[in-house]
Structure 1
Amino acid sequence: MWIKIASFILRFRLYIASVLLVLTVLMGYFATKTEMAYELVNVIPEDDPTNITYQQFKQTFGEDGSMVVVGVATDKLFQLEFFQDWYRFSKDIEGLQNVANIISLPKLYNLERNDSLWKFQVKPLVENEPQTQAEVDAIEAAIQNLPFYHNYLFNPETNATMIAITFDSTATQTKRRESLVAELQALGDELSKKHNVELSYSGVPYIRTINSQKISKELLLFTFLSIVITGIFILIFFRSLQIVASSLIMVAICLTYTIGSMYLMGFKIGILTALIPPLIVVISIQNSVYLLNVYHFEYRTHKNKMLALTRTISKIGVASLLTNLTTAIGFGVFSFTGSSLLDEFGRLAAVNIMVVYVLSVLLIPILFSFLPGPSNKQLRHLDRKTLSGVLSFVNRIVFNHRKWVYSAAIVLVAVSSIGLSKVHTFGYILDGISPKEKLYKDLKFFEQNFGGLFPFEVYIDTKEEGMVRDLGVLQRLELLSRKMEEYPELSRPMSVSELMKFINQAYYRGNPKRYILPNPLEMGKILNMMPNQYNKKNSDLLKSLIDTTYRYTRISCQIADVGTTRNEEIRQSLRAQIDSVFPPEEFNVEITGKSVVHVKGNSYLIKNLSVSLGWAFMIIGIIMALLFSSYKMIGIALLPNLLPLFMTLGIMGFSGISLKESTILIFGVAFGIVVDLTIHYLAKYRFELKKYDYNISQAVRASIDHSGFSMIYTTVILFFGFIIFAFSSFGGTVYLGLLTSLSLAFGLFSNLFLLPSLLLGMEKRMNMRESMKSSVIELEEEDI
């Protein structure tokens, strides 16, 4: 069949090239429409109870973690000149397009009791820009006498304050967010320079904006580096600018299809999908190297270019299909995790790997059919003494010292087992961000002065409309809030009980000692002074704390980025306290918020590592079963591919690298790619078995000599293709690059030494003739 396919490709190469050109232009157009991802991707499945609770919470109270915060700590805070500029700074921010709301010291409000109208009136603390120090002193005194605001916007102990800014939906989920953040920082820079103070910026939208900008830059950097590095190695291996140029044309076309397919599949460029273009560069070069090596071997045999290209396609067609398929499986199994984030990554990578395979089989033969046959100089790499010496060394070890290979494998497994026992699951929301970066330092500023920034919510269903007004419920809210204050990792809780204490203070004409919950008699009078408050414009805070039916309420606070382990400990401890304050038979109370979803997502991904890898092993095992209808051969084929993963886990344990979203990718990706080496070796091994009348020793030696070149070439290219991720500013991506590169290196040695050793070790225990007769997939060369 592949002879006919090869003949068709070469006979109609002009037509095929024309179609590919049109498709490439079309995909290029779609590539220009691909956008960066600005919305936060949900990691956990939609039907997970944690996600269901979180979505219900958002339907009731709106999006949490939607604020950008700007903070400063300075003794100048209540000095006239600085306070005036802080006032103007707040006004300027409020005037920015797409800013929905801000809260700051100059924008605070107080409640005043109006006996003549028998109601509370909301009045701004700062009606106009103060003109004298006495006015500023009065403002400071007023804030000091309002405990409601302490440690929310103002920390009296450190003289720190912050401005909380809410962007509208247009800015939060589009590219406009980047320019809005830039405008905000430009205003802040003016204030910083004038008063020689450092402003800190943070908040979930801000962190996502900075990360999106870094992802965009790294996408370009890594794609460029992958092209340069692979181009250099192709030049070193083949010593031909012609081959380098042809390979880079192939890379450019593959990249166009990859980025264009993102748009067609409805995906955007995020922290994981941004890794795919540079990976596609490396994988497309890997395919090119295999094809070119076979082409050069064939051409050197008979010097007939078209015959060599035809035989190249026919020889490598099925084997290359299987290697790309296993690589695609390594990525594609992430779709089985149930995570939309990994599902996008897995599907996009798997589809484009198979597209690269098709393009490789079509483009490389077509391109070289129009070029002169390789010169003697270009064929010298086939006789390179260095590689020949390496392969001779491999043969000596495999044939004369197999016990060394087995012993080394056993020792590596034993040592890796110790490291494996040290592997743990742990992650931060700002995972991988260096403590030296301003983004990290700014987050710590807010954690130290205000307790944290990541939403941590207690969502309460009283099961009856109007119950939130009940004093007993308010007292329960107050009690639970005080218990939550015992956790230093949490910011000061905000609930309707705090609001009622604020109102009670206003009822007693601003007496700070009356910042307590009202008694039943006071409660009745206060409620009479608040008719229809829920529908008034000045009740935004009330709306954010209770729903329109007064059935649902919340205790809202923020948690520091303490890591998944401590976050889970806090939740478990708080859960017991919640149940003691709000009996489960009377109330439904859930802990939720973005930070809780993040922790759940991390644990969910780790739990599903075994599931995704299990699918990969099973599917690839089926492929091996189709190649060799022998359980022993399936075991021999899979064992050299499990060892590198085991060793990588051991290194992670010894190095203290935890399992998290980024490092979990290593195993599926590395397994899928390392299996490629096995398939290429076994493809040649099957052919050599028939050639040497099923003499395993001769077949093993010939397979090492022939396939070893391509295995080493492609592994070197893949190694350096992945190692470029070590230059990322994201720690998780750095580990992905380093550990995947190590896995590939381990995989090369495992397939060069352990796989042939196992084949030789089974020489007297297996009937290869019968095993191959019953195989379903044929990989051997076809007669021409």
Structure 2
Amino acid sequence: MSSGSVVSRFVDWFINRRSIGFGFEYLGVATLRYPRVMSVIVLLFTILCFWQIPKANVDGDLLRVYAHSGHYYDAYDNLSKTFGTFENDIYVMVNSPNLVDPDVLEEIRNLAFDLELNEYAVGTMSPFTLRKPDGSGGSVPAVPEGMLNADEVAMALMDLQQNDPMMRNLITPDLTGVVLIMFPNQELVNQDGTKAMIASLRETLAFYDDSGLEIELTGPPVWTSEMLNAAVDDQIKFTVYGFGLGAFIALFALRSFWGAIIVAATPFVAVMWSIGTVLLLFGSFSFLTIIVTTLVLVMAFAESMFFIFNWLAYWRDGMEPNKAVDTTLKLVGPATALTTLTTLVAFASLYFSPGQGVQEFALAGAAGSTIMFVCLMTVMPLLLKTALRLGFKLPKAPNFALNAPVPAALGLAMKFGRPVSVLAILLTILLIIPFFLIQPRFSFEDFMAKDSTALSTAESIDEGVGGVAPLYVRVPLTQMDPNVGAEDFETIRTIHEIVESELGENKVISAASLTNYTETGFTREEVFDAVGPFMRKRFITEDGSQALVTGFMPTILESQALKDMVARIETRMSEAGFPQAELGGFRILTTFATDDIVRSLQISLAASVVLNLVLIGIAFGSLRMALVSAIPNMFPILGTQAWLWATGAGLQLTTVMALTIAFGIAVNDTIHMLSHYMHGRREEQRSHIESVHHTLRRIGGAIVATTVILCAGTIIVAFSELPQVALFGSLFVLSLSLALVGDLFMLPSLLVAASRMLENLTGIHVQTADHVATPDDPAGNTDTRVGASRTS
């Protein structure tokens, strides 16, 4: 056979004889033809996935979300490798109205020493661990022991607060609280886990519960631990409530207990498969990939409802129930394959955005969507055939409430098709304006669990000592002096002053902030020896090639204010002749990386919309169908973005991800509706208006039911303890609700108004169903109008 013949046959198949699902529905046909073989494969894969589930865990490393996201990640990575950072430190806030009482102070001193002896500590920093040179080559405690009265204690603490650069950030101005910092043994933490470290610290601090001291833990490890606990709790709630709500809605819609069980069974298997697959791919869930199981759950419920609705409709129309399974798979299968492809395009578009976390989410989502399709094409037909063998009876007609909006949608389309279409087009065009006006936004507290005690403790530290969130400047030096030469000292001092002018007096520490000791006659070598080797590494590298300037800012700081401050600092350092000085820190990384990721995701969203519309046009063999579907598909996304812009919420990391995935899923109802419409036009030879009527009456209730399931299953996410996840759920529900308006009211009106444009669609021979013989349908169901089964 010549290559030209092969090409021409492929072109003929692609243009004329393929299905709208591009042949992927043949997986379902294979299940019908070889049920025993497919049952064994399904069973083996299920066992493999269930084998992974006991290993399920959530990686609490928030840095994983931003890994490899650009310049500020690289700066943070270089900083961590050179100096380490304060990002893993634990802050212990100790408050007492009687802090200046000598007995109380000694109790806190004991607490600080016990903290230093904890197995997870490699060092601590507090007023009690600080030592100062004694003038004879040694050092003495900065807070003297054995003080006799409150005045003596107050004088000692005020002297530290006013003269020591590090203690200014650890003692509250009113002398009622001190901050103790514990530096964890990161190797031991990685081995045992953050949860074990925090539990050990709480056990150490529990000894002082009856001492009258108010003790609270905070710091990044505590924050991420709270986030992790909230994420795990959320996932358990989402899965349980999602199944319960989905099954209840299915019961309400189908009015059949066993029908609801059948609808729920496929999503259950799909979720188990997706959990196992994510664990096989990545070894653990992240804060983003954990959302995928909820998405798979609601998508599988929606597609199951479409499948069951069509199957029962064929059965009620008089078709033999086993043959109805085959017929349904051949009709719904191609549409489901196309909806899966559009969802895959949506997830794939995310992959090209920076950030390891987003890329993992894209891969996990793509895997979950594929698994959902495979599950529907294998588990669903096997389940239905088994149910029929066990005596499943035809349920009552679907609940009338599901079809309640259909007459209104039909009436609106038939009487006011053109005005509604013009209004829909104008409204969608107007909604494009906020798309260009909305700005990225990052807020650290949005990543924290609601009612977080660690966050409230951090806020109290902000109020007391002005904040402990670190900002770093890595400064290249030229003299290579481990004790800092004069020229390098001036460089450090200049940058120190630039940072201090932004953060406030006494909010910066560096080698230049030790002048209160060097000006009294001590050498820098003596001062560095007094602070100890561990703290010395926080000022300068061992070879003297780089210095670190550390500023402390409030934990809660608006992203725009932080970006403006960073811009000013970088400009001033460049003007001062130090362009190579590198600004970094976790807060800077997350703020700027989020900005870059969000802008990239916006482009991905636009690309996803265009690609999916093109895909719909190719699938149906008609650019006109793609144009008709554009308005109802763009309206929900643009409407949701307009709401974000109007409320001032801005674009956040999970916001754009929610919009992108919601678009991929919202397209599903449009595809099912157009599939039924085109089937009526091309294969049942219905008129244009009759096909619109028939499509709405046939699947209008299914569209309502699937939207209710999607919204009900996802609205649970809106009650997450994590604000970012809660926002994801809220936007998802809003987008899907607007998509229902687009599909039920806009799309029929657009179809009616475009009657002339769609007049010759029957001349296009792309199939909308697969006419392949199966054991229960040996004729290949070439005529769906036989008997009472004149349906689509």
**Normalised TM-score (structure 2):** 0.88
Aligned match of 1:293: 309
CA distance in 2, matches of 1:134, 1:375: 88
CA shift, 1:422, in A, is 6.0
- Paired letter, 2:164: P
Aligned match of 2:492: 477
CA distance in 2, matches of 1:86, 1:281: 51
Preserved CA contact (<8 Å) 2:96 2:214: no
Preserved CA contact (<8 Å) 2:189 2:197: no
- Paired letter, 1:547: T
- Paired letter, 1:19: I
Aligned match of 2:244: 228
Aligned match of 2:122: 100
CA shift, 1:717, in A, is 0.3
Alignment partner of 1:169 out of 183, 186, 189: 186
Aligned match of 2:742: 750
Aligned match of 1:731: 723
Range moving further from structure 2, 763-772 or 554-563: 763-772
CA shift, 1:126, in A, is 6.0
Alignment partner of 1:572 out of 557, 567, 570: 567
The within-5 A match list for 1:35-50 is 35-44=57-66, 46=68, 48-50=70-72
Q: 1:731 to 1:30 in 2, by over 3 A?
A: same
CA shift, 1:17, in A, is 2.5
Q: Spell out, residue by residue over 1:157-187, the C-alpha distance to the aligned partner (whole angstroms, 9 max, x if none).
A: 4443111011122354466311321332344
Preserved CA contact (<8 Å) 1:326 1:620: yes
Alignment partner of 1:497 out of 507, 512, 531: 512
Q: Spell out, residue by residue over 1:364-397, the C-alpha distance to the aligned partner (whole angstroms, 9 max, x if none).
A: 1111212237999854334x43344422221111
CA distance in 2, matches of 1:407, 1:683: 24
- Paired letter, 1:32: P
Aligned match of 2:50: 28
CA distance in 2, matches of 1:54, 1:696: 61
Aligned match of 2:386: 370
- Paired letter, 1:571: V
Range moving further from structure 2, 277-286 or 642-651: 277-286
Alignment partner of 1:666 out of 655, 658, 674: 658
**Secondary structure of the equivalent of 2:764?**
helix
CA shift, 1:103, in A, is 1.5
Range moving further from structure 2, 742-751 or 261-270: 261-270
Q: Spell out, residue by residue over 1:381-439, the C-alpha distance to the aligned partner (whole angstroms, 9 max, x if none).
A: 34x43344422221111111114423542564476467657633222112265885433
**Secondary structure of the equivalent of 1:545?**
coil
CA distance in 2, matches of 1:181, 1:576: 40
Aligned match of 2:424: 409
**Secondary structure of the equivalent of 1:608?**
helix
The within-5 A match list for 1:642-681 is 642-681=634-673
- Paired letter, 1:87: R
Preserved CA contact (<8 Å) 2:507 2:553: no
CA shift, 1:146, in A, is 4.5
- Paired letter, 2:130: L
CA distance in 2, matches of 1:672, 1:179: 41
Q: Spell out, residue by residue over 1:659-679, the C-alpha distance to the aligned partner (whole angstroms, 9 max, x if none).
A: 111211121111101110111
CA distance in 2, matches of 1:191, 1:6: 65
**Secondary structure of the equivalent of 2:440?**
coil
CA shift, 1:493, in A, is 0.8
CA shift, 1:732, in A, is 2.3
RMSD of the alignment, in Å?
A: 3.0
The within-5 A match list for 1:554-573 is 554-560=548-554, 561-573=556-568
Q: Spell out, residue by residue over 1:492-511, the C-alpha distance to the aligned partner (whole angstroms, 9 max, x if none).
A: 1111112354344362xxxx
Aligned match of 1:689: 681
Preserved CA contact (<8 Å) 2:717 2:726: yes
CA shift, 1:212, in A, is 1.0
CA distance in 2, matches of 1:427, 1:6: 45
**Normalised TM-score (structure 1):** 0.88
Range moving further from structure 2, 125-134 or 302-311: 125-134
Preserved CA contact (<8 Å) 2:230 2:449: no
- Paired letter, 1:39: D
Alignment partner of 2:401 out of 386, 391, 401: 386
Aligned match of 1:451: 466
Q: Does residue 1:553 correspond to 2:550, yes or no?
A: no
Preserved CA contact (<8 Å) 1:2 1:313: no
Aligned match of 2:4: none
Q: 1:380 to 1:474 in 2, by over 3 A?
A: same
Preserved CA contact (<8 Å) 2:226 2:449: no
**Secondary structure of the equivalent of 2:650?**
coil
CA distance in 1, matches of 2:504, 2:329: 62
CA shift, 1:738, in A, is 1.6
Preserved CA contact (<8 Å) 1:333 1:616: yes
CA shift, 1:233, in A, is 0.5
- Paired letter, 1:727: F
**Secondary structure of the equivalent of 1:554?**
strand
CA distance in 1, matches of 2:314, 2:627: 32
CA distance in 2, matches of 1:101, 1:741: 48
**Secondary structure of the equivalent of 1:603?**
helix
CA shift, 1:714, in A, is 0.7
Aligned match of 1:58: 80
- Paired letter, 1:113: G
Q: Spell out, residue by residue over 1:629-656, the C-alpha distance to the aligned partner (whole angstroms, 9 max, x if none).
A: 3333221122210011111111112222
- Paired letter, 1:641: N
Aligned match of 1:304: 320
Q: Spell out, residue by residue over 1:534-578, the C-alpha distance to the aligned partner (whole angstroms, 9 max, x if none).
A: 8x9933222221122312112112222212100011111222322
Q: 1:469 to 1:411 in 2, by over 3 A?
A: same
CA distance in 2, matches of 1:364, 1:283: 14
Q: Spell out, residue by residue over 1:117-158, the C-alpha distance to the aligned partner (whole angstroms, 9 max, x if none).
A: xxx323444687879879857854764674234323223444
CA distance in 2, matches of 1:758, 1:603: 37
CA distance in 2, matches of 1:416, 1:432: 29
Alignment partner of 2:226 out of 210, 221, 225: 210
Range moving further from structure 2, 716-725 or 401-410: 401-410
Range moving further from structure 2, 468-477 or 629-638: 468-477
Q: Does residue 1:180 correspond to 2:214, yes or no?
A: no
- Paired letter, 1:615: A
Q: Spell out, residue by residue over 1:576-612, the C-alpha distance to the aligned partner (whole angstroms, 9 max, x if none).
A: 322343x14xx62121111111111111122112321
In the alignment, structure 1 segments of 5+ residues that lack a partner are 115-119, 508-525
Preserved CA contact (<8 Å) 1:329 1:672: yes
Preserved CA contact (<8 Å) 2:330 2:769: no
Range moving further from structure 2, 678-687 or 14-23: 14-23
Q: Does residue 1:716 correspond to 2:716, yes or no?
A: no
- Paired letter, 1:283: M
Q: Does residue 1:638 correspond to 2:660, yes or no?
A: no
CA distance in 1, matches of 2:512, 2:311: 78
Preserved CA contact (<8 Å) 1:461 1:551: yes
CA shift, 1:691, in A, is 4.1
Preserved CA contact (<8 Å) 2:609 2:634: no
CA distance in 2, matches of 1:274, 1:3: 28
Aligned match of 2:260: 244
Preserved CA contact (<8 Å) 2:25 2:333: no
CA shift, 1:271, in A, is 2.0
CA distance in 2, matches of 1:693, 1:310: 22
**Secondary structure of the equivalent of 2:543?**
coil
Preserved CA contact (<8 Å) 1:435 1:441: no
Aligned match of 1:277: 293
Range moving further from structure 2, 184-193 or 470-479: 184-193
Aligned-residue sequence identity (percent) comes to: 17
In the alignment, structure 2 segments of 5+ residues that lack a partner are 1-22, 773-779, 782-792
Preserved CA contact (<8 Å) 1:235 1:244: yes
Q: 1:415 to 1:614 in 2, by over 3 A?
A: closer
Aligned match of 2:414: 399
